[in-house]
């Protein structure tokens, strides 16, 4: 396996294929770089250098009991970028990975980033607060933590159903997709996954979004049952300087898998534009 070691001794697994302009993919919770299979293969075939890592505590990276927070995640990405000597990169993040992209680009990306993409992403803030009244109440995330701690394996059987919109009328359940979600989730560490719930739900990315100077593409399905569009993409587009929002009617949170052909084409158009 290909890994590099961060300053605190964490081994981060990554894939690095091809040549040309680099595209760095950031996965969602509690998955791994494998969640980008459809995009990695597509962009590799288009002549790009494609890179994806397993966030610490996820996939094949070290199952750390520390550093499972957005600042450290972004610092790990900066270390990966330095390790690979990347410049002019496009960073694409899904869900929690979208938050990771926002924080990385804002705090570490100067001189290294060409464009950024947020897909079904958690910014600016998922949690309901006085300043963010449309967010989800803390009880929702407490429920995630309770279910995770009680029976992670069963919880990870249940989450993919709304994740991919398989609970909607007329939508065929793809067993391979749900089983692959479960496989990726169970490969990671429970402590890191537990901590990451706080990271993706309570981190406020407002100032990160405001600080990003490169073009940003925001993609979101209007039937996203995991990260509701009204309190994410529709707010984020108002905060970025150079943003474009594209909404997909009826698409679920996991649209990079269920509608890969559409999403890939739109990503390619943005990168080439």
Q: Which residues are catalytic?
A: 95, 224, 253
On whether the CB atoms of residues 44 and 20 are closer than 8 A, the answer is no
On whether the CB atoms of residues 216 and 224 are closer than 8 A, the answer is no
- Classify residue 2 by its DSSP letter: -
Nearest to 66 by CA among 199, 202, 203: 199
- The CA-to-CA distance between both ends of the chain, in Å, stands at 34
Compute the C-alpha angle 100/106/110, nearest 5°.
120
On whether the CB atoms of residues 58 and 197 are closer than 8 A, the answer is no
Nearest to 56 by CA among 76, 39, 35: 76
- In the chain, which ranges are continuous DSSP H helix? 37-45, 70-84, 96-108, 138-158, 160-163, 175-187, 190-202, 206-211, 233-236, 255-258, 260-272
Please tell me the distance from the alpha carbon of residue 204 to that of residue 125, in angstroms, as a whole number.
5
Please tell me the distance from the alpha carbon of residue 179 to that of residue 267, in angstroms, as a whole number.
26
């Amino acid at each position: 396996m290909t890994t590099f070691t961060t300053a605190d001794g964490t081994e981060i697994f990554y894939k690095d294929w091809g040549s040309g302009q680099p595209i760095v993919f950031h996965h969602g919770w509690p998955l791994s770089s494998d969640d980008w299979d459809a995009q990695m293969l597509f962009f590799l075939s288009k002549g790009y250098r494609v890179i994806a890592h397993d966030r610490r505590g996820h996939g094949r990276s070290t199952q750390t009991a520390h550093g499972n927070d957005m600042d450290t995640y972004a610092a790990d990405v900066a270390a990966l970028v330095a390790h690979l000597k990347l410049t002019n990169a496009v960073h694409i993040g899904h869900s929690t990975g979208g938050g990771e992209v926002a924080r990385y680009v804002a705090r570490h990306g100067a001189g290294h980033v060409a464009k950024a993409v947020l897909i079904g992403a958690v910014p600016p803030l998922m949690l309901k607060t006085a300043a963010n009244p449309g967010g989800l109440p803390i009880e929702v995330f407490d429920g995630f933590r309770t279910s995770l701690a009680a029976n992670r394996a069963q919880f990870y059987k249940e989450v993919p159903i709304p994740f991919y919109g398989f609970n909607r009328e007329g939508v065929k359940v793809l067993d391979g997709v749900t089983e692959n979600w479960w496989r990726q989730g169970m490969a990671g560490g429970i402590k890191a996954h537990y901590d990451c719930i706080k990271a993706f739900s309570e981190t406020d990315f407002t100032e990160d979004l405001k600080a990003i100077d490169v073009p940003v593409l925001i993609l979101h399905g209007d039937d996203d049952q995991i990260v509701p569009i009204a309190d994410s993409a529709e707010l984020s587009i108002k905060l970025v300087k150079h943003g474009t929002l594209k909404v997909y009617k009826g698409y679920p949170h996991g649209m990079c898998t269920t509608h890969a052909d559409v999403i890939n084409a739109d990503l390619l158009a943005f990168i080439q534009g």
